[in-house]
Amino acid sequence: MKISVIGGTGFIGSKIVEEAARRGHDVIAISRSVDQDDLPDGATAVPTDVFETDALTDVIKDTEAVIHSFTTPKSLGVDERVQLQKKGTASIIEAVKKAGIKRLLAVGGAGTLEIAPGVRFMDSYIFPKIWEGGAQSTAPIKEMLSEETDFEWTSLSPPHHIVPGERTGRYRVGLDKMVCDETGQSKISVDDYAVAMIDELESSQHSGRRFTAAY
């Protein structure tokens, strides 16, 4: 399958590119600054500004699916990050529609996962305030996607902790509730998160909704 990964050089996006290429997919890695020498075999670097919708449309038009891994700079304030993410997501959605692509998968956030019925992690007293910018800025992605009917969409929320680590190929799946292990930890390696994303790309088990994956 030929796919585009927007934000393909980031912490999560780069691993998604690696996992997709590892499985033999033809991958276009899109970022404002991306070097071909940094990519695995099977991936092609195409520097593109996510906010340039027409240019983005032209880059993705021949792909079968798009993975949205665009993130905002941590150096920005919370409100700036929220507005920038909304702008970037809107541009991606418009480009997907203009290009006639029928599949969009997105990297979501852990903050909107529930830790109790009706209680989002980001609204709880245990949520680390240092993560507020990331949580607030990723929260609109699922809501924006849920309004669309022109393509099939899926959002994959990481667990509480997404960290560097080995690729095991194993994980457990949940929907809106945060997945925790027997010790109460909610965790996955970024490599296994990428496995879950490409598994979803290939199987389309969660079309039209958000899901999560953790150990």
CATH code where residue 92 lies: 3.40.50.720
For residue 34, is pLDDT > 90?
A: no
H-run or E-run covering 113 = none
Over its C-alpha atoms, the chain yields an Rg (Å, rounded) of: 16
For the cut 90, the answer to whether the pLDDT of residue 131 exceeds it is no
pTM, to two decimals: 0.94
Is residue 127 scored above 90 in pLDDT? no
CA 183 to chain centre: 27
- Predicted confidence (pLDDT) per residue in 72-93, tens digit: 988 999 999 999 999 999 999 9
Indicate the pLDDT class of residue 35, thresholds 50, 70 and 90.
confident
Dist CA 81 CA 89 (whole Å)? 12
Neighbours of 35 (CB within 10 A): 11
Residues spanned by the domain of 93: 2-214
Q: How far apart are CA 118 and CA 103, in angstroms?
A: 29
Count of domains observed in the chain: 1
Q: Are strands 103-107 and 2-6 parallel, antiparallel or unpaired?
A: unpaired
pLDDT at 38: 85
